[in-house]
Amino acid sequence: MSVAQRAWGAVPDSVKESDRQLIAGVLLFTYLLYILAQTFLAIANNAAILPAVANSLQNITFLIAVYAIMALALNLHWGYTGLFNIGIAGFMAVGVYSMSILAAPATGSPPGLGLPIPVAVVGAVAITALVGGIAALPALQLDADYLAIVTVGFSEIIRLVLNASYFAGTVQDPEASGYNVVDIFGIQFGTGGGQGINTPTSSPADFLYSTTSLGDLLYGPSGDPNALGSAVYAAAESVGVNSSVVNGATYSFFLLLVVVTLYYVLLVRIGNSPFGRVLKAIREDELVAQSLGKDTRWFKVKVFMVGCALMGLGGILWQGSFGFVNPNTFRPIVTFYIFTALIVGGAGSNTGSVIGGAVFAAFLFEGPRQLARIVEVLVTSVFGSLPSPTTFYAAVVSLNPLAWLGYTIDNVSTLKFVFLGAVLVYLMQNRSDGLLGHRKEIAASIDLSDRTPRKRESAAADGGESDE
């Protein structure tokens, strides 16, 4: 029995069987490890502990939330319906850029439509669903690997179009050569091309901590901190935590507690609905679903549109919250990360999607970097500064273990891909269903296994009830 299996066996059955307790347990365990790690690093570097811990928890909470959101959206496609969509980054880009163009001022560079932020977000989600429907019509004629090829190709087409100078619209002088603002029915807009585009920076923290008016609610807060904001900022600064960390933590926990919960509840409701049961039938055997009179092609188009809309909204909440974005943000590696999160948690399980997002973000994405920092502190405290070979060849031929360690720490951001590959190979061989993929969902909206059995009554010979 492996260490992981023994650790899982030590978890109480009551926690294993409760989705909420399982998610809460994983989050508490993650936070505890990060608090200990940041406390150790702060002490070792003679830095303030509380600011380091607060900044680290804010960062990891944000990553956990966004990867859980995207894993849940992907679970609707791959886990529920069996659609191998690896164009996630492209649909995220459509959501973020649509929102940015709709909300950008008409006099901006590039120009936009100047719509209120709530309207821009709703419009961007609708546009992403429409683009997903357009992509689904030809793509869903294909199966498995061929569908994957089409979706990743479609994603790259989106990225290259957004990167094209023809649609940039950033030249201010109409007489200048190359002025190319897109004009449709007199409405001008642009994508910014390779230079990127500004995104609205409003978040719940902005509305919560800033003075707001009707215009602020529609176009984003621009006032000074209100009474609550002043009090919270002052309390945070008294312990060394700046206002940006407070805003980031508020937004991160909003995503984790509100948006992830809403996504989770929505997918559970979809899965328990007649529509969701057809999706699961398509996943298991599409021919059987067709033989029962279901138009599986139309069901796949609808679920593809819904899933793409959720991916677009996830992209807005993730990349759209930074104030600026460029097309290179949406490379295929983003799709790979999201798929890895879902694979780790277990496709088909909503709880597994959330836990997979948490495990991936905290231990596979950020974990190697944090571990490298801890190892570096421990080794340098004993042996002094580590050698830093510039190439792998130089590290090997030195025959110095400290040089190998120094090279590994310096290149951990690249070597973590090797670690990710090793984890995926291990999961495929030892736990192909992921951490929670073994948990079977009920086929009906009511769990019949919890039904109290009725007392069986024997019938008399004359058709009445027996006295026995």
pLDDT of 228:
86
pLDDT of 96:
96
* Higher-pLDDT residue of 446, 117: 117
pLDDT of 7:
66
* Higher-pLDDT residue of 8, 59: 59
pLDDT of 463:
45
Over residues 362-387, mean pLDDT: 88
With a CB cutoff of 8 Å and minimum separation 6, the contacts of 123 are: 98, 99, 102, 115
**Proportion of the chain in helix, strand, coil states, percent, rounded to 5:** 70, 5, 30
Out of 164-178, 244-258, 426-440, pick the least confident: 164-178
Mean pLDDT of the chain: 85
Over residues 57-83, mean pLDDT: 95
Place of tokens 């319906």: 81
DSSP, collapsed to helix, strand or coil, labels residue 323 as coil
The domain ranges of the chain are 58-329
* Higher-pLDDT residue of 416, 181: 416
**Alpha helix stretches (DSSP H) within 185-291:** 204-209, 214-219, 227-238, 243-254, 260-272, 274-284, 286-291
pLDDT reading at 75 higher than 60 = yes
pLDDT of 111:
84
DSSP codes joined into one string, 408-465: HHHTHHHHHHHHHHHHHHHHHHH-TTTTTTTPPPPSSSS-GGGPPPPPP-PBPTTSSB
pLDDT of 203:
75
pLDDT of 429:
84
pLDDT of 461:
45
pLDDT in tens, 269-296: 999 999 999 999 988 888 899 998 998 8
Q: Is the CB of residue 344 less than 8 Å from the CB of residue 427?
A: yes
- Single pTM value for the model: 0.89
Q: Which amino acid is at 318?
A: W
pLDDT in tens, 99-118: 999 998 888 788 888 899 89
pLDDT reading at 52 higher than 70 = yes
pLDDT band at 390 (very low <50, low <70, confident <90, very high): confident
pLDDT reading at 450 higher than 80 = no
Distance CA 147, CA 157 (A): 15
Q: How far from 410 is each of 213, 310, 440, CA to CA, in Å? A: 49, 37, 43
